[in-house]
Structure 1
Amino acid sequence: MLYSVKPLMRLLLLPLLLMASSLFAQSKKPDATPSKEVEQYLAEFQKIVKKKALYADSIDWAQLRKEVKEKSRGLRTIEEGRHVLDHILHTLRNAGDKHSFLIPKEEVATLTSPSYAGQQAESRYLGDGVGYLKVPEFTSMDASVGQTFSQGIQSQMEALQTKHTLTGWVVDLRQNTGGNMNPMIEGLKPLLGEGIYAYDISPRRAFMKEKPRYNWSGKEQQPRSGAAAPTPQQVAILIDSLTASSGEMVAIALMGRDNARVFGQPSAGYTTANQDFKLSDGAYLLLAAGYRMDRTRKPYLNRITPDVVVEYSPKDTPDKTIEAAQRWLRETK
């Protein structure tokens, strides 16, 4: 049987044409212009980072803008643009920033809730006139929860001082990964004394390069004139590789005072001073905008190295770090 050539060729060409059409449709790029909402949100985010970030000068902004434009093609909602924000933060990471991060609006509600299931501070008497305080991370942003946390620390300190004559303290910040620094600082107020406990240095803000911080409620205010400082007590500060961010800030606040010494392992190295920015969708950007100096104006640009490095103790064995701190407190009474 003979077949006509033309119908046969049409049968062969039809699948090829359909395939080519499909490939062309898939290769078409989405609308190059994102929605106005997305465009404004990304512009807001980039403006904050460029103006405030500690490492902003290490970024190729022309290249980053090109990448943001490409990655935002066709986006219609802010939620769809999360990967673009991640890319900007990743670019900051590559420039040297290891501390900036975003809190999505969904998580903000949890952090500001008046209910808090996190750990509270612990205390006990170690003997030889030494009190022990374990200060854990604190992640709530709710004022009432923060007040309860700080009052808990002070109540435990008062209880120990009522029962025992204390000449020194062990403040254990090991595994304190950070969070909200202010309630920790407020709780430790009796050990910090009055006055400036640290400085935030913001190199990109020429009009305010040095910002002092004070020890009550984390607010900047002048110390009360003529107020007597508490009796100085020795303080042994314990840190490890999980002491990070606000945990490191608390250590720095204590380290600058007299009669203080640090024991343990080098900290995590998140010592940049983060500034929070509320974004238009309710999310928060916590941006590394500066670094911290202690009250003696010693800067901390990376990890905190202990005065006395102590190896980790295996589980269910005596805590060598606490033992080293106790020896120092006994020897320097």
Structure 2
Amino acid sequence: MAITDGWRQRRTRRYLLHALEIVERRALFSDTVDWPTVRAEAVAACAGAVSYTGIHDTVWTVVKQAGGAHSGLRRPGPASAWGTGTLPSGEVIDGVARIGLPACSERGRGYRDTGHQLMRDLAAAGPSGWVVDLRGNQGGNMWPMLGVIGSLLPDGVLGYFVPPTGPDQVWRLRQGRVLLDSRTMARTVAPHHPGGPVAVLTDGGTGSSGEAVAVAFRGRPDVRTFGSETAGMTSANEIHPLRDGARLSVTVAWFADHHHTVCRGPLQPDESGGTDPLAAAVDWIRRTR
């Protein structure tokens, strides 16, 4: 029994050190951590562990310390994909098109297809402007989201991932393709950039990739934001699967808008819109036109 336990302890120690090495190498605030001390304390805390479950809490603590609030560890078990069963929605309100973008699952094929058809239908109505509703969008896969609403944005830089030490990665729109550097991540639908003012709605439930979509609209002519400040997860994560099925989520870069203004923390709206930001946004678009 002792031999078996000794083997298990060595195995879990290797697991722990592997996870710590990923965090040390990639985490956004890694250079603020005293790694010799943190590593020694983590190993001591897990010295008697004979299963991976016994060290998850320690890994969680370290990745939060080095990666910030957006980092974490998802323990093994049934995956709860972002936005499962939730698809984009749309309507026309007083001649203004509203496209609602919820959180998006990891693959997002149904999300993309539904969103593309909605954009075609809404554009066919000849709206005087657009509302991109990101309220409650907690994140997930940002690329299908940008693919759905990319036709409302001009060609060029949409934003950046900015790590502590370069190089930055650029999100770009080029002839209907959403690119990460030179790699195609999603496609938009015609008509491309149909014109008219765009209002973006956010709230405290807008986080992570939902905030990335908001960042893509920041600082553009004929765009105004309404609602309340976002969740403040304006950063990019890498997902590292571990050998027991746990998923280590390590924050590695900040978002920046197309002016290369880095976003650290919640995004503030231009206007609160009072108790009904959607009505305020529609009114602004109608007055602008």
Letter in 2 for 1:40: R
Q: CA RMSD in A?
A: 2.7
Residue 158, structure 1, aligned to residue 147, structure 2: no
- Answer yes or no: is the 8 Å Cα contact 1:186–1:218 preserved in 2: no
Secondary structure of the 2:265 match is: coil
Residue 130, structure 1, aligned to residue 96, structure 2: yes
Pairing partner for 1:213 from 171, 177, 185: 171
Match of 2:260 in 1: 297
CA apart distance, 1:306? 0.5
Match of 2:76 in 1: 105
Per-residue displacement from partner, 1:55-111 (whole Å, max 9, x unpaired)? Answer: 112222222122202211121222222122122134337xxx110112233244x54
Residue 234, structure 1, aligned to residue 179, structure 2: no
> What is the number of residues matched between the two proteins?
278
CA apart distance, 1:121? 1.3
Match of 1:179 in 2: 140
Structure with greater proportional strand content: 2
Match of 1:68 in 2: 42
Residue 267, structure 1, aligned to residue 241, structure 2: no
> Structure 2 length as normaliser, TM-score?
0.86
Pairing partner for 1:287 from 250, 262, 277: 250
Residue 326, structure 1, aligned to residue 282, structure 2: yes
Letter in 1 for 2:215: I
Secondary structure of the 1:244 match is: coil
- 2:84 and 2:242 map into 1 onto residues whose CA distance is 27
Per-residue displacement from partner, 1:8-36 (whole Å, max 9, x unpaired)? Answer: xxxxxxxxxxxxxxxxxxxxxxx999722
Gaps of 5+ in 2: 185-190
Secondary structure of the 1:84 match is: helix
- Against the structure 1 CA distance between its residues 233 and 151, is the aligned structure 2 distance closer, same or farther, given a 3 Å change threshold? farther
Q: Percent identity?
A: 28
Letter in 2 for 1:88: V
Match of 1:39 in 2: 13
Per-residue displacement from partner, 1:189-210 (whole Å, max 9, x unpaired)? Answer: 2112333211110113x4x1x2
CA apart distance, 1:130? 0.9
- 1:300 and 1:81 map into 2 onto residues whose CA distance is 33
Match of 2:187 in 1: none
- Against the structure 1 CA distance between its residues 256 and 287, is the aligned structure 2 distance closer, same or farther, given a 3 Å change threshold? farther
- 1:101 and 1:326 map into 2 onto residues whose CA distance is 38
Per-residue displacement from partner, 1:309-330 (whole Å, max 9, x unpaired)? Answer: 233x3xxxxxx21121122212
Per-residue displacement from partner, 1:219-278 (whole Å, max 9, x unpaired)? Answer: 43279xxxx963333110000111111111111112244321110111110101212223
- Against the structure 1 CA distance between its residues 250 and 294, is the aligned structure 2 distance closer, same or farther, given a 3 Å change threshold? same
Match of 1:316 in 2: none
Of structures 1 and 2, the one scoring higher in RCO (CA 8 A, sep 6+) is: 2
CA apart distance, 1:305? 0.4
Secondary structure of the 2:244 match is: coil
CA apart distance, 1:300? 0.6
Which segment is superposed worse, 296-305 or 34-43? 34-43
- Answer yes or no: is the 8 Å Cα contact 2:199–2:224 preserved in 1: yes
Pairing partner for 1:121 from 88, 96, 107: 88
Letter in 1 for 2:70: H
- Answer yes or no: is the 8 Å Cα contact 1:54–1:203 preserved in 2: yes
The list of structure 1 runs, each at least 4 consecutive aligned residues, that deviate by more than 6 angstroms after superposition, is 31-34
- Answer yes or no: is the 8 Å Cα contact 2:197–2:223 preserved in 1: yes
- Against the structure 1 CA distance between its residues 299 and 156, is the aligned structure 2 distance closer, same or farther, given a 3 Å change threshold? same
- Answer yes or no: is the 8 Å Cα contact 1:177–1:242 preserved in 2: yes
- Answer yes or no: is the 8 Å Cα contact 2:73–2:246 preserved in 1: yes
- 2:242 and 2:178 map into 1 onto residues whose CA distance is 25
Gaps of 5+ in 1: 1-30, 314-319
Pairing partner for 1:86 from 57, 60, 85: 60
- Answer yes or no: is the 8 Å Cα contact 1:32–1:74 preserved in 2: no
> Structure 1 length as normaliser, TM-score?
0.76
- Against the structure 1 CA distance between its residues 92 and 203, is the aligned structure 2 distance closer, same or farther, given a 3 Å change threshold? closer
